[in-house]
Structure 1
Amino acid sequence: MSRVTRLKHVQRELDSDDFSLPTEKQQICRIISSKGNNLHEVESPNEIEENYLVSMPPKFRKNVWIKRGDFVLVEPIEEGDKVKAEICRILTPEHQKEFEKAFVWPKRFTKKRDHESDIKENSDSDDDDLPQNPNRRQNYRADTSSSEESDQED
């Protein structure tokens, strides 16, 4: 099979509306970073488990690109010590919506939780701590009326 034909089949598989739910062995994970050599570090949906490495199968290599923050469906493998799973499917926002409707999406990855944590982080930070931008012009308006009134009172 030529490279173009293989790419066409992989793209067709990704674009298909296959919203089948994950099996018992499969997990939804979030990509944290790319470690090179088709290995990616993922964050598991369980807070108890630590981050681990997953491998990208040959059919996705050089055909599909994933970046930090993307969600993938992984299936565990037994033969590896460092690499603990293999990517089965790359999830799109449509998958996320369907999985949330079916109550399969992990609570750790919900947008509402991410939004709430962003609000808490923003409320804790003070805008007064930021230095002023030296590239902006400082326009000060002196209130002449208030200074004149204080002079007249004396």
Structure 2
Amino acid sequence: MGPPKRRVLATAEETLTPPDELAEGQQIARVIKATGNNIYAVELPSKTSILVELPARFRSTIWIKRGSYVVVDTKALEPRENKLGGEIINIVRDEKAWRKAPYWPKEFVKQSLLPASDDEEDSTVGRMPPSDDSDA
């Protein structure tokens, strides 16, 4: 049996709005990949990658994709002496609202979905494929 619905909804509601400020030791990181057993490899703004753990309250409630952003507490797991560099304390779900926060790292710029091209004539975006009738 899964967790009660009120706990699932409370966790989901908590991740929608960004906090006013991040505490010491907390950083926003980009998820590189899921390594298994609720352990994720994330990239910090300083371009270093660490392994972080997903706490039980987020498991089976909110799914994390590659390229999404999370808030990591790097001081949470210091007493443990293992390979983990931190713990996920929040998940960025409304990225547009989070990007407006003053603590959002400048290293994580918004990437465009369209290919960057200076030559408008070479672009085939929105055009029909060439027809084969020109040979006849």
* CA displacement at 1:139 relative to structure 2: 2.3
TM-score, scaled relative to structure 1: 0.65
Q: Which residue number corresponds to residue 139 of structure 1?
A: 133
TM-score, scaled relative to structure 2: 0.73
Work out whether 1:44 is the aligned partner of 2:44: yes
Instruction: Report the structure number with the largest CA radius of gyration.
Output: 1
CA RMSD of the aligned region, Å?
2.9
Q: Which residue number corresponds to residue 126 of structure 2?
A: none
CA distance in 2, matches of 1:22, 1:10: 24
CA distance in 2, matches of 1:82, 1:8: 34
Q: Looking at both structures, which has the greater relative contact order when contacts are Cα pairs under 8 Å and sequence separation is at least 6?
A: 2
Q: Which residue number corresponds to residue 86 of structure 1?
A: 87
Alpha-carbon contact 2:31-2:43 (below 8 Å) kept = yes
Unaligned segments of structure 2, at least 5 residues: 123-129
Alpha-carbon contact 2:32-2:43 (below 8 Å) kept = yes
Which 4+ runs in 1 deviate beyond 3 A?
96-100
Q: Which residue number corresponds to residue 30 of structure 1?
A: 30
For 1:1-154, list aligned pairs within 5 A.
3-5=2-4, 7-16=5-14, 18-20=17-19, 21-47=21-47, 50-76=48-74, 77-78=77-78, 79-93=80-94, 96-111=95-110, 114-115=111-112, 119=116, 138-141=132-135
Unaligned segments of structure 1, at least 5 residues: 128-135, 143-154
Compare the two structures and name the one with the higher helix fraction. Answer: 1
CA distance in 1, matches of 2:72, 2:81: 14
SS of the residue corresponding to residue 8 of structure 1 reads helix
Percent identity, aligned pairs only? 33
